[in-house]
Amino acid sequence: LDELIRRPQGILLVTGPTGSGKTTTLYAALKKIKSVERNITTIEDPIEYDISGVNQVAVQEKIGLSFAATLRAMLRQDPDVIMLGEMRDLETTTIAMQAALTGHLVLSTIHTNSSAASVTRLRNLGIPSYLIASTLIAIVSQRLVRVICPKWRIKDEPSERDLARVGLAQTKKGEITFFRGEGCQACGETGYRGRTGIFEILPFHQQMRDLVMSKGSETDIRQLAVAKGMVTLGQAALAKVKAGVTTLSELYRVVETEEEFGAGCPHCGTSLGADFVICPGCGHSLVSSCPSCQKMVSPHWKFCPYCRHDNVKMTRKRSFA
């Protein structure tokens, strides 16, 4: 991230739900790169922190001072860096991208659940794929997790089901030490004290630009990013758990475990891919066929959604390669 915010131009997006620390991340980035040689402008609604040496402007919709109008006015001052509170409409986003194309570094936020989903959000706003590919330098997705109180931190033993949810079904006892907070006066009996961030950084290298240009899906974008070494939100959260910083409960609270780690086998808990037909851990069959219409169905379905057959004992598919 330190390298990305020192780029001379382009757009760095920070995404996440409300209250996930997006604005704090942007302020930290500005403090990192501000200098007397750099003209930095922020356009916010409202201004949350005062930063010395930075020109901060508050949006006032009631008098016509919208994000788009303010951004146009600020561009006349030839800023080097622009922090835009949020990309919330087509007009504002288009102006920001034009600014990035003309030599400005733009930092902003967008409301999506993942870094890859931000590309879809921009497309839905009406931004063409070629403009997204040519202006974005990276997308940062983030969440905040509570930190275990250090005053009274004790060992924890998660259930097999909990371990399976994060792909640790085959973990041997004692291989990883888990912790939780017992609760004390210092943390208000909650077991937690303070918060820390988990981050997923999706950089836009040439392959990613080509994929976005060709209108690749969210799944395609995510798969390419992971193949190129992106640490996902789930992996980042799990690393904090393994380091004893936070708990599995916090991971479950902020991360979609099935999306991040895959569904678990109902028999042994091994993580499964969406297209798996048999569990690689125990050989449990994951698909069946309806004895009435022969279409593929899930083993736990009580009724066939295609022909309404209500025979619970459906025929298992055994012909696996």
Predicted pLDDT of residue 286: 67
Predicted pLDDT of residue 144: 97
Residue 253 contacts by C-beta under 8 Å, 6 or more apart in sequence? 145
Predicted pLDDT of residue 321: 36
Strand ranges for 183-303 from DSSP E = 192-203, 263-264, 271-272, 288-289, 296-297
Predicted pLDDT of residue 264: 61
Residue 300 contacts by C-beta under 8 Å, 6 or more apart in sequence? 266
The whole-angstrom separation of Cα 178 and Cα 248 is 8
3-state helix, strand, coil in the chain (%, to 5): 35, 20, 45
32 to 40, 160, 235: CA distances (angstroms)? 12, 43, 26
Calculate the CA 177 to chain-centre distance: 26
222-269 pLDDT tens trace = 999 999 999 999 999 999 999 999 999 999 999 987 777 766 665 665
Predicted pLDDT of residue 95: 96
Residue 119 contacts by C-beta under 8 Å, 6 or more apart in sequence? 132, 139, 212, 218, 221
Calculate the CA 131 to chain-centre distance: 22
Report the chain (321 residues): mean pLDDT per 10 consecutive residues. 93 95 95 93 92 93 89 92 95 96 96 95 96 98 97 91 82 86 94 97 97 94 94 95 96 86 64 66 72 73 81 44 36
Predicted pLDDT of residue 303: 83
Strand ranges for the chain from DSSP E = 10-15, 40-44, 55-58, 81-84, 105-110, 136-148, 153-156, 178-181, 192-203, 263-264, 271-272, 288-289, 296-297, 315-316
Predicted pLDDT of residue 167: 81
Go through the domains of the chain in sequence order and give each one's CATH number. Answer: 4-149+191-255 (3.40.50.300)
Q: Are 156 and 119 in contact (CB under 8 A)?
A: no
